[in-house]
């Protein structure tokens, strides 16, 4: 019997590598473009406002397309949607390089945002499928590969910009090379329907019992959506506001001010690389609640005792505390009873993107009204929200795989 089961771990290991590659590529593709945005702006003669309006098309496309991901996954499987979507994403971003006008640039970014949203749901769905077969947490490591991919993509784009590689050549090469990697990943993904390895669903309830199940699912979805938005607020604070806070409120130099984002992202990446073992040991619920406490205490002390060292430590603790939160929310949404497969994951992804879209302007308005130091208390509130709402998460992912 052991010989019959031998191919299964090998197949799972290949699928795990393939999903990790998808997360990595999803981040690399757009991060590779970011350092070339000044070139795009100059080539098209855009103002800052025009460039910002074009860039806003990307989250708009994501919001428009995210809810379609569940139907696409049911029709084509998560493996195909993720890998084919990545190949198409490379082509869409090549469209950014050859866009002859603002409208064409915005259209390419709209398509790229739509593809990114669908890919995000599909790669998480397939990662959760692999995790179910492993019967232990591995999703956090996938998200860590996304963080690593973002750093690598930014470095690749910076090198291309520094070498003055023509933008069409740069992004065409990126589309072809990374598209080939996505094609290779597609062959290593798990075959068949996404529900093939799930436990059979119980017979659907009828009448008042069915309404109660749906009502419970909707309430749980709302709680998970708020929990995901809490994670978005923490992550966005490091990306959008840490450098400005360090420079304008604490007088840090330009180089030192950039370390706030590095501290949060670095700690979050470390937390995701190590988070699966922690989640297996203590469960998603305890880890999320402890993480919320770490976020609230870390940033609370940093804002109460403002200095450059305390602020860098506060952002690092926030990154560590939020590391496993969004993967846990995705997992819980995918397991909600009373919903069609993929629906919970798609809806939570959509709500999460709303959080990322609204967080910067909300904190900006608060900063204008009361100062950035007060506005960053939103991070403390988000930590407390994680502490309070973490109870909706599962205590355990599953028993360990037998050796």
**Predicted local confidence at residue 5, as pLDDT:** 39
Residue 205 region by backbone torsions, left for phi larger than 0, else alpha for psi between -120 and 50, else beta: beta
Q: What is the pLDDT of residue 231?
A: 93
Please indicate, yes or no, whether residues 222 and 304 belong to a single structural domain of this protein.
Answer: yes
Please state, rounded to an integer, the average pLDDT across all residues of the chain.
87
**Per-residue pLDDT at 180:** 96
Q: Which of 155, 188, 221 is the last residue of a domain?
A: 188
Structure-model confidence comparison of residues 362 and 295, the more confident one: 295
| The token pair that represents 304 in the structure block | 């109460």
Residue 7: the pLDDT is: 43
What average pLDDT does range 6-14 have in this prediction?
Answer: 72
CB-based contact 359:240 (threshold 8 Å):
yes
Pair 359, 341: CB distance under 8 Å:
no
Q: What are the tokens at 360?
A: 């910067």
Average pLDDT rounded to a whole number, residues 325-343? 84
Does residue 90 sit in the same domain as residue 152? Answer: yes
Are both 15 and 101 inside the same structural domain? yes
Distance CA 99, CA 93 (A): 10
With respect to residue 172, please indicate whether it lies within any of the assigned structural domains: yes
Statement to judge: residues 183 and 248 lie in one domain: no
Least confident residue range of 68-77, 287-296, 358-367, 381-390: 358-367
Describe the crossing of helices 259-282 and 139-162 by its angle, rounded to 10 degrees. 160
Poorest-pLDDT segment among 38-52, 261-275, 335-349:
335-349
Kindly state the tokens that stand for 403: 């050796």
Verdict on whether the full-model pTM lies above 0.85: no
Averaged pLDDT, 308-336? 92
Neighbours of 180 (CB within 10 A): 12
Instruction: Dump pLDDT digits (tens) for 76-126.
Output: 999 999 999 999 999 999 999 999 999 999 999 999 999 999 999 999 999
Q: 318 in a domain, yes or no?
A: yes
My answer on whether 278 and 353 are in the same domain is: yes
Task: Record the tokens describing residue 3, joined without a space.
Answer: 């010989």
Instruction: Report whether 25 contacts 182 (CB < 8 A).
Output: yes
The whole-number average pLDDT for the span 159-168 is 91
pLDDT, position 239:
77
**Is residue 401 in some structural domain?**
no
Per cent of the chain over pLDDT 70 is: 91
Rg over CA atoms, the chain: 21
> Which of 387, 403, 368, 398 is closest to 130 using CA atoms?
398
pLDDT of residue 208: 64
More confident of the two residues 252 and 120:
120
For 59, half-sphere exposure in the C-beta direction (CA atoms, 13 angstrom radius) is: 15
**Counted domains in the chain:** 2
**Whether residues 175 and 304 fall in one domain:** no
pLDDT at 46: 85
- Is the pLDDT at 3 greater than 50, yes or no? no
On whether both 372 and 261 belong to a single domain, the answer is yes
The domain of 253 spans 211-392
Q: Tens of pLDDT along 178-229?
A: 999 999 999 999 988 777 666 555 555 555 666 776 777 788 888 999 999 9
Pair 41, 76 in one domain: yes
Would you place residue 2 in the very low, low, confident or very high pLDDT band (cuts 50, 70, 90)?
A: very low
pLDDT tens digits for range 26-60: 999 988 888 888 888 889 998 888 888 888 888 88
Q: Assess contact for 2 and 117: CB atoms under 8 A.
A: no
Q: Are 47 and 178 within one domain?
A: yes
Count Cα neighbours of 19 within 13 Å in the Cβ-side half-sphere.
Answer: 30
- Give the whole-angstrom CA distance, residue 169 versus residue 163: 12
Please tell me whether residues 23 and 160 are part of one structural domain: yes
Final residue belonging to a domain, choices 136, 154, 188: 188
In this structure, what CATH number is given to the domain that contains residue 54? Answer: 1.20.1250.20
The residue from 188, 222, 240 where one domain ends is: 188
Please report the pLDDT score of residue 207 as a whole number.
56
Q: For the chain, what percent of residues have pLDDT higher than 90?
A: 49
pLDDT reading at 360 higher than 80: yes
Residue 348 lies in a domain: yes
Q: Are residues 150 and 234 in the same domain?
A: no
- Do 165 and 100 share a structural domain? yes
């Amino acid at each position: 019997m052991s010989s019959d089961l031998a191919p299964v771990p090998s197949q799972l290991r290949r699928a795990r590598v393939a999903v990790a590659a998808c997360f990595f590529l999803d981040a690399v593709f757009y991060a590779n473009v970011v350092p070339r945005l000044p070139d795009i702006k100059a080539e098209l003669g855009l103002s800052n406002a025009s460039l910002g309006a074009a860039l806003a098309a990307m989250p708009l496309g994501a919001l428009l397309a995210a809810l379609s991901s569940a139907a696409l996954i049911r029709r084509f499987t998560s493996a195909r949607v993720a890998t084919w979507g990545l190949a198409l994403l490379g082509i869409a971003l090549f469209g950014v390089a050859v866009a002859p006008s603002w409208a064409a640039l915005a259209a390419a970014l709209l398509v790229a945002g739509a593809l990114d949203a669908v890919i995000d749901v599909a790669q998480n769905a397939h990662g959760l499928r692999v995790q179910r077969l492993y019967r232990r947490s591995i999703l956090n490591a996938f998200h860590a590969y996304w963080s690593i991919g973002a750093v690598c993509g930014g470095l690749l784009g910076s090198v291309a910009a520094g070498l003055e590689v023509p933008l069409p050549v740069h992004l065409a090469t990126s589309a072809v090379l990374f598209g080939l990697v996505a094609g290779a990943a597609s062959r290593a993904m798990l075959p068949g329907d996404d529900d093939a390895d799930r436990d059979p669903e119980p017979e659907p309830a009828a009448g008042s019992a069915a309404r109660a199940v749906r009502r419970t699912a909707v309430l749980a979805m709302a709680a998970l959506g708020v929990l995901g938005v809490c994670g978005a607020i923490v992550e966005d604070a490091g990306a959008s506001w840490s450098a400005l806070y360090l420079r304008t409120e604490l007088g840090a130099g330009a180089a030192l001010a950039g370390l706030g984002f590095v501290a949060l992202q670095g700690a979050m990446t470390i937390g995701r690389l190590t988070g699966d073992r922690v989640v297996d040991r203590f469960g998603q619920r305890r880890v999320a609640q402890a993480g919320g406490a770490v976020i609230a205490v870390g940033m609370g002390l940093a804002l109460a005792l403002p200095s450059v060292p305390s602020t860098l430590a506060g952002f690092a603790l926030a990154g560590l505390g939020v590391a496993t939160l969004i993967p846990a929310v995705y997992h819980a949404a995918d397991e909600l009873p009373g919903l069609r497969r993929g629906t919970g994951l798609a809806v939570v992804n959509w709500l999460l993107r709303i959080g990322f879209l609204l967080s910067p302007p909300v904190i900006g308005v608060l900063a204008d009204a009361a100062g950035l130091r007060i506005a960053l208390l939103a991070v403390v509130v988000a930590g407390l929200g994680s502490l309070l709402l973490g109870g909706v998460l599962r205590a355990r992912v599953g028993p360990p795989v037998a050796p």
